[in-house]
Amino acid sequence: MRVTASKVGLLAYCAWWARPEAKWDTTTSKHADRGTRFHAAIARYVDGNFAIEKVEDDIRDEYAHAVEWVAKQCSVEVSWGVERAFAWDPSTDTAEALDIIDRQYRPTSRLCGTADVVLVRGDTLEVYDWKTGSGADAGPQLRALGLMAARAYGVSNGVSTVRVAALEVSKSGVVEVCAETLDEFELAGVAGDLAEQIAAVDTAEPKPGSHCGELYCPARLTCPLGNTAMAEVVDVVPADSLVRRREYRITDPITTPEHAAWALDVCRLVGAKLDAIKDSIKAMVPPEGLALEDGSVLRETKATITAFDKHKALALCKQLGATPEQIAALNYTFEKSNGLRVSGGGAKPRTKRSRAA
């Protein structure tokens, strides 16, 4: 099985990428490399009897905050586990912990995943995943890992509930996001949803949308629908296109709501594909850049933007003589457009099932 816990969130939107014939993009990025180094460093800290080590400058602050978070968990009696790999069988709803030497082994019929931190605290199992970027979309991954850990450890440890959360670590600290406590009924719901989604992989067709880029589809560079969309943009459609074309063309005037929704999906697919191409280019460019034949240099540029600090701004207003009433009246609402989205309709991604009252 190609699906892992880290990609079950994408599976709810589109399952084509998980089919055996789908070709995956194997390029990495500097951000991914940074995250990998952070994960390895904090795992060594816990496994090495909590001995702090010197790490690279670009992960130093995050590492320090993560060490502080770990120290707080050690203030009470807990059983620690880091980088715990699991394999869950959807046909039997059972799971086992994998030895570290088998971590890359993915049995064809089982869903595998690795939890960054597993704690046993009383009768509650706690599963955490470190995020050096945003953890806002980590819910499906966390629920899958919670299910795996519960099935592998729960019965023998007398655990009745599983608490899951993403640990979003940055230079300013560690914040828990997507935190949930799952009981046995909710875990059964997670198992049912996952089993249904996995069973649908073999017959899945590409389904474009914002998830192509936002959830980092591994097949976004090779998706046949994406390739057809790119051909549509340049108005050159191959006669042997792998995906049947709709009656619309991206170059036609938008005249109906259905055409608009279709064109929006095409734009998102193309955007995700272009982003993946840019990531591939960044991965091959060294820090000093690449010299071109005309004497110019291709290099990555960075821009630094100072973040707005509400507290400093209010302090400055007070320093400049603003009254308490004037400061209290400074209640600005900032709105940010997240772009157009299609909601509702016949097909929606599955969400966590709620326990019946």
Which residues, other chains included, contact 59 with Cβ-Cβ below 8 Å and sequence gap of 6+? 34, 37, 38, 41, 132
Could you tell me if 99 and 112 are in contact, meaning their C-beta atoms sit under 8 angstroms apart? no
Mean pLDDT of 90-114: 77
Q: What is the pLDDT of residues 223-244, one digit of tens each?
A: 887 777 666 665 544 545 545 4
Confidence of residue 357 (pLDDT cuts 50, 70, 90): very low
Buried residues in 166-205 as b, exposed as e (16+ CB within 10 A): bbbbeeeebeebbeeebeeebbebbbebbbebbeebeebe
Is residue 186 pLDDT above 50, yes or no?
Answer: yes
Question: 């990025």: which residue's tokens?
Answer: 29
When the candidates are 3.30.160, 3.90.320, 3.30.70, 1.10.3470, the CATH number that belongs to 5-202 is 3.90.320
- Full-model pTM: 0.68
Among 325, 215, 194, 338, CA closest to 275:
215
Token pair for 147: 């299910």
- Say which amino acid occupies 152: A
The mean of the pLDDT values for the chain is: 80
Could you tell me if 163 and 149 are in contact, meaning their C-beta atoms sit under 8 angstroms apart? no
Among 221, 190, 206, 213, CA closest to 111:
190
Cβ burial of 244 (10 Å; 0-12, 13-18, 19+) is: exposed
Q: What is the pLDDT of residues 253-309, one digit of tens each?
A: 788 888 888 778 777 777 777 787 888 888 888 888 888 887 888 887 765 556 666
Q: Provide the pLDDT for residue 301.
A: 74
Could you tell me if 238 and 225 are in contact, meaning their C-beta atoms sit under 8 angstroms apart? no
Q: Provide the pLDDT for residue 309.
A: 67
Could you tell me if 217 and 14 are in contact, meaning their C-beta atoms sit under 8 angstroms apart? yes
Q: Provide the pLDDT for residue 88.
A: 94
Confidence of residue 344 (pLDDT cuts 50, 70, 90): low
Question: Boundaries of CATH 3.90.320 in the chain?
Answer: 5-202
E strand or H helix that includes residue 171 = none
Confidence of residue 338 (pLDDT cuts 50, 70, 90): low
Could you tell me if 159 and 187 are in contact, meaning their C-beta atoms sit under 8 angstroms apart? no
CA 256 vs CA 204, 225, 289: distances in Å: 27, 21, 46
Mean pLDDT of 105-133: 85
- 3-state SS of 211-245 is HHHHCCCCCCCCCHHHHHHHHHHCCCCCCCCCCCC
How far apart, in whole angstroms, are the C-alpha atoms of residue 117 and residue 128? 5
Question: 């509650």: which residue's tokens?
Answer: 124
E strand or H helix that includes residue 77 = none
